[in-house]
Structures are given as structure tokens and as C-alpha cells.
Amino acid sequence: MDVTNLESVRDNDFIHAVMEESGQDLTHCYQCGNCTAGCPCGFAYDIQVSQIMRNLQAGRKDKVLNSRSIWLCLSCSSCTTRCPNNIDVARVMDVLRHIARREGRVAEKGVTTFWDAFLASVRKHGRVYELGVVANYVARTGRVWTDIDLLPRIAPKGKLSPMPHDIKGRDEIARIFQRYEEERTR
């Protein structure tokens, strides 16, 4: 059993930052466990969703931000849908990822590497260029042979175009990225 003296670890600033950024009142969670029961990724988590919420309430910043669970969350919103107190738990998990990334706490580097490859593709083409995302991810991780066995099944479906398809209105996408960069550096 993990016993903690809350007076020594409680980070009230962290609790308030998560509540403010997510727009959710963490005090409404009474640990019913519905979020955990409905989570399709719970089998892979080091800390279950309900325990993430409890650790948040306790202000255990290090435990929460260093967990693998926040990175493995699919953002499917099953937890949010099942919450009897209408807490957007998926939004809370999203905010935790953002805070962790800002602080350089990335427990699952492959996830952030994929996000970066995905966003680089959208930034460049205005949409996802799947083959480009895969190439970027492989170049950053060195995981060349990981999913090569999927190629014979995927290639005939024509889903991996050898050339990117740019969209109309790419400048609107560029403005979104520019606004994001400006807000991030404030």
C-alpha cells in the first residue's frame, strides 16, 4: 500500500492549475470508479483513471505527471461519458499531458514523437500525409521494422499515397499554428 503524508506532498498550485486549465472541478469526483471501469486502455495503465483523479485531488503532482497512464489515454471520452458528476475526465487527462510536456516529463516518448510527426504533417500539408508521418516517426525513433508486416495488407488499399495531397486554405492552417506558437510563448 502506498501511504503518503499529504502535508508533505500536496501541491495546491498544481491542483488549481489543472482545474483552471481544464475547466473541471476536481472536488466533484467521489471515486465511484466508473471512469476506470469503462477505460479501454486501463489494462496498460500504471495508475488507473480513478486513481489519477484521486492523486490529483491529493495534489500529488509528481506521481500524476510522471505516470505512463496520461500518455496512454486515447482521449476516447468513455470516462467522461460514464462520470455521474459530469466531470470531463478526458479533458483533465489532456491537460495533464500538456502540463507534463511543458515541464519535460514525458513517460512515453513514442507518443510525443508520433504527435510531433503528425502535427508536422498537418503544418506542412494542411492535412495528414500518412506516409510522411510514418517516415518522420521512423526517422525520429529508429523503429524501422516495427510494423513492416502490415505493409502487404495496407498497400493494396491505397491508403498510403506516395505523394502528399495539399488542401485549399493552407494559409488558414498556418494561422492556427502561428496563433498556437504565439500563445505558447506568452
Q: What Rg do the C-alpha atoms of the chain give, in angstroms?
A: 19
Query: How many beta carbons lie within 10 A of that of residue 72, not counting itself?
Result: 18
What is residue 94's predicted lDDT score, i.e. its pLDDT? 94
What is residue 6's predicted lDDT score, i.e. its pLDDT? 61
Low-confidence ranges of the chain (pLDDT < 70): 1-8, 159, 186
What is residue 1's predicted lDDT score, i.e. its pLDDT? 64
What is residue 160's predicted lDDT score, i.e. its pLDDT? 74
Burial class (CB in 10 A: 0-12, 13-18, 19+), 129: buried
* pTM of the predicted structure, to 2 decimals: 0.78
Q: Which stretch of DSSP H or E encloses residue 62?
A: helix 61-65
Cell readout for 132 is 510522411
pLDDT in tens, 125-155: 888 888 888 888 888 888 877 777 877 887 7
Are the beta carbons of 29 and 87 closer than 8 angstroms? yes
